[in-house]
A = this chain, B = another copy of it.
Amino acid sequence: MKHERGLLIVLSGPSGVGKGTVRKALFECKDTTLQYSISMTTRSPREGEVNGVDYFFTTKEDFKQRIAENKFLEWAEYVGNYYGTPIEYVEKTLQEGKDILLEIEVQGALQVKKAFPEGIFIFLAPPSLKELQNRIETRGTETEDLIRNRMNAAKEELDMMDAYDYVVENDKVDSACDRVNAIITSEHLKRERVSNYYKRMLEAE
């Protein structure tokens, strides 16, 4: 449906699960209309980095002022510099009817969810959970302690999952990519969104 507001797609999951690889593959899909969420940072631009393309570069003073004014969907400090997702750029892109993808670790995603609950939160699950499953199902080849440790790790991951709308297993990058695209297609077809579109159209009679 045209003229519709875009969707904020949050791709997240545990460290090492392959978020960056799946994100890259999503942008390599032909015909993709996904926009990249541009972060703001206080670190210096590296050679070739362009303001407003790779990052929005700013000063620490300005960044702190923006934090005080709630101008970030999420932010964090790493090694003396600030990084954050500016609401203004996200809002502008959504208003233009474009979907925007934010790839982010779990803690950041939970911050985004508080600030922007209408986002679509996708948890990328590691295939090792499935391996664990297979091991548990076949049984007996691992020590009881090792199985217990893995179960605990899986349980921690499950707790993080509960804040998300969808779980996509990253078994193969192409499959994960197809699943994320199916979610985006499907979300655009939700009756609440489409019927508002028809209603707006009819009200414009």
What residues of chain A have their CB less than 8 Å away from a CB belonging to chain B? 1, 123, 125, 129, 133, 136, 147, 151, 154-155, 158, 161-162, 164-169, 178-179, 181-183, 185-187, 189-191, 194-195, 198-199, 201-202, 204-205
Which residues of chain B have C-beta atoms less than 8 A from A179's C-beta? 185-186, 189
Say yes or no: A158 contacts B195, CB within 8 Å. yes
Which B residue's beta carbon lies closest to that of A161? B195
Interface of A is mostly: helix
Which residues of chain B have C-beta atoms less than 8 A from A147's C-beta? 205
Say yes or no: B166 contacts A189, CB within 8 Å. yes
Say yes or no: A167 contacts B183, CB within 8 Å. no
Interface-centre pick from A155, A165, A198 (highest chain B CB count, 10 A): A198
Which residues of chain B have C-beta atoms less than 8 A from A151's C-beta? 202, 205
Which B residue's beta carbon lies closest to that of A155? B202
Contact status of A166 and B154, CB under 8 A, knowing A191-B161, A204-B136: no
Say yes or no: A191 contacts B205, CB within 8 Å. no
Which B residue's beta carbon lies closest to that of A179? B189
Say yes or no: A199 contacts B167, CB within 8 Å. no
Output the least CB separation between A155 and chain B (Å). 6
Which residues of chain B have C-beta atoms less than 8 A from A169's C-beta? 1
Say yes or no: B191 contacts A183, CB within 8 Å. no
Q: List 19 A-B contacts (CB under 8 A).
A: A125-B194, A129-B198, A136-B201, A147-B205, A151-B202, A151-B205, A154-B202, A158-B198, A158-B202, A161-B191, A162-B191, A166-B186, A166-B189, A167-B189, A167-B194, A167-B195, A168-B189, A182-B186, A182-B189
